[in-house]
Amino acid sequence: MSVKPESLNRLYQLKSRLQARHKLTACIRDFFSARDFLEVDTPVRIAAPALEDHIDAEPSGTMFLRTSPELHMKRLLAAGYPRLFQLGPCFRAGEKGRRHLSEFTMLEWYRAHEDYQSILRDTVDLVKRAAHALCGSHALSCRSVTINVAQEWEALTVDQAFERYAGSSVDAAVAENRFEEILVDSVEPHLGRTRPTVLFDFPSQLGSLARTKPDNHRRVERWELYIAGVELANAYNELTDAGEQEHRFIESAALRRRTGRGVYPLDNEYMACLRGGHLPECSGIALGVDRLLMILTDAESIADVVPFTEA
Domain range 6-305, CATH class:
alpha beta
Report which of 86, 74, 99, 100 is spatially closest to residue 37, judged by C-alpha positions. 86
Q: What is the pTM of this model?
A: 0.94
Within a 10 A sphere around the Cβ of 182, how many other Cβ atoms?
22
Distance CA 292, CA 285 (A): 14
Q: What is the pLDDT of residue 297?
A: 94
Distance CA 83, CA 11 (A): 36
Report which of 251, 254, 283 is spatially closest to residue 108, judged by C-alpha positions. 283
Within a 13 Å sphere around the CA of 191, how many CA atoms are in the beta-carbon half? 28
Q: What is the pLDDT of residue 3?
A: 54
Q: What is the pLDDT of residue 10?
A: 80
**286 φ, ψ (degrees, to nearest 5):** -120, 125
Q: What is the pLDDT of residue 244?
A: 96
Task: Supply the DSSP string of 227-284, one letter for each residue.
Answer: ETTEEEEEEEEBP--HHHHHHHHHHHHHHHHHTT---PPP-HHHHHHHHTT-SPSEEE
Distance CA 220, CA 214 (A): 9
Please list the ranges in the chain whose pLDDT falls under 50: none
* Residue 68 near residue 90 (C-beta atoms within 8 A): yes
> Where are the domains positioned within the chain?
6-305
Give residue 75's identity as a one-letter amino acid code: R
* Residue 217 near residue 169 (C-beta atoms within 8 A): no
